[in-house]
Amino acid sequence: MAVEAVKSVETIKDSDGKSRYPLSAIHILKAHGQSCMQSKLLVGGFALSAARAAQGMPTHIEAGKEGEMIKICLLDMNLQRHRMGMGVTLQVIDPKEVERIKKREMDITKEKIEMILKTGAKVVLTTKGMDDVCLKYFVEAGALCARRCNRDDLQRLAKATGGALITTLADLDGNESIDVETQIGSCRAVQEIRVGDGEMLQFLDCQGGSVAKTNGASTILLRGANEYMLDEMDRALHDALCVVKRMLESKTLVAGGGAVEVALSNYLQDYARSTTSTREQLALEEFAQALLVIPKTLAVNAAKDATELTAQLRAAHAVDGGSHNMGLDLVEGVVRDNLQAGVVEPAISKIKSLRFATEAAITILRIDDRITVQDQ
């Protein structure tokens, strides 16, 4: 599921033609109930933890004809009855003027709603509030609305649908307008479904991919027994997504399970004995021994005999014709070909780990003096 999720948000860059996989485009939604095995990926779709703002709104909106799309308006503003600004004082002589002022306030709100509906938007989502006056107009128009949505979720939804998060209706000319081409998103269908203890809005067949050489965004719906389990699944899934992203972007991999460290350790020990006859040989051999910490730690964490397994792994690498892909099978406690078994790691992560560890050791060894501060 992690591999399919990362591939679903592939973005083609400009001139170099290399693909990028932005993890921010993958929305992870957690819902209580069912087993973790019931988790699923919505490819090209998006799920939002929100419900309809009014019961009179439809629960399902789908484009009728082939090729038609449902338009989505995403707002970052309040949709409430217009009120005079703070500090504004009006002196009214005729009581009828008060009614005219109230009517004009209602008309301003109605004009704003009509401007949104004229874009053809059938779904309106906002991060702020939406009062009953505005909901009345949306219900009459047959639109589906949700209020107080998470801002980050709406930004991902904007990317998925090819729209934009609208913070103000004002344009450069001082008027109010909405650009349908750039600010309104689209998808094939929108429906409200019940998941666990609450409702969720599901957007199907989002059209972000046709707008900017990207597949928009995708959603992973995690199911679990309780909040603690869901949080742990979220952390584990994020680690998996990062590993897959590294692998796909670098296009290089190495065998896992301590195979790289043992191969480097054996190579450095042979190199130290055959090419150097000075004290540098000691440094090379100590570096080779330090690399064995990784397979030993892996074996200890798996409750295996670390000394025995490490010795078997070194012997497997040292024999003539031995494969550098031999690593640890931490389930059975044996040595195997991890490349053939599918246990791999991104090469770029391994290179950076070795480089940073070496630089840290060199930095510490360069320290000549130490100052100790004692409490009086």
User: In this predicted structure, what is the pLDDT of residue 170?
Assistant: 79
Kindly report the number of other CB atoms within 10 A of residue 98's CB atom: 11
User: Considering Cα of 48, then 53, then 57, then 59, what sign does the dihedral take?
Assistant: positive
Q: Indicate if 212 and 302 belong to the same structural domain.
A: no
Range of the domain at 226: 2-86+101-250
**Which of 250, 284, 308 represents a domain boundary (last residue)?**
250
In a domain, 312, yes or no: yes
In a domain, 108, yes or no: yes
**Which of 250, 284, 317 represents a domain boundary (last residue)?**
250
CATH code assigned at 305? 1.10.560.10
Q: Indicate if 217 and 289 belong to the same structural domain.
A: no
User: In this predicted structure, what is the pLDDT of residue 210?
Assistant: 44
- SS3 category, 368: coil
Which of 326, 336, 334, 344 is closest to 304 using CA atoms? 334
**Are 348 and 354 contacting, i.e. CB atoms less than 8 angstroms apart?**
no
Q: Confidence band (pLDDT; 50, 70, 90) for 86?
A: low
Tokens linked to 95 = 């009581």
Each residue's pLDDT tens digit, 333-374: 899 999 999 898 889 889 999 999 999 999 998 887 777 887
Provide the number of structural domains found in the chain. 2
Question: Which has more pLDDT, 25 or 83?
Answer: 25
CATH code assigned at 165? 3.50.7.10
Where residue 50 falls (left for φ over 0; alpha for ψ -120 to 50; beta otherwise) is beta
The arithmetic mean of pLDDT across residues 150-160, rounded, is 85
In a domain, 372, yes or no: no
Q: Indicate if 240 and 311 belong to the same structural domain.
A: no
**Which of 250, 271, 303 represents a domain boundary (last residue)?**
250
User: In this predicted structure, what is the pLDDT of residue 321?
Assistant: 65
The arithmetic mean of pLDDT across residues 120-134, rounded, is 87
Q: Indicate if 304 and 358 belong to the same structural domain.
A: yes
Q: Indicate if 111 and 139 belong to the same structural domain.
A: yes
In a domain, 91, yes or no: no
Q: Indicate if 211 and 344 belong to the same structural domain.
A: no
Q: Model pTM?
A: 0.68
In a domain, 244, yes or no: yes
Q: Indicate if 15 and 81 belong to the same structural domain.
A: yes
Pairwise CA distance, residues 17 & 15, whole Å: 5
User: In this predicted structure, what is the pLDDT of residue 211?
Assistant: 41
Q: Indicate if 186 and 137 belong to the same structural domain.
A: yes
Q: Indicate if 231 and 308 belong to the same structural domain.
A: no
Q: Indicate if 305 and 202 belong to the same structural domain.
A: no
In a domain, 94, yes or no: no
% of the chain exceeding 90 in pLDDT: 24
In a domain, 79, yes or no: yes
In a domain, 96, yes or no: no
Q: Indicate if 211 and 358 belong to the same structural domain.
A: no
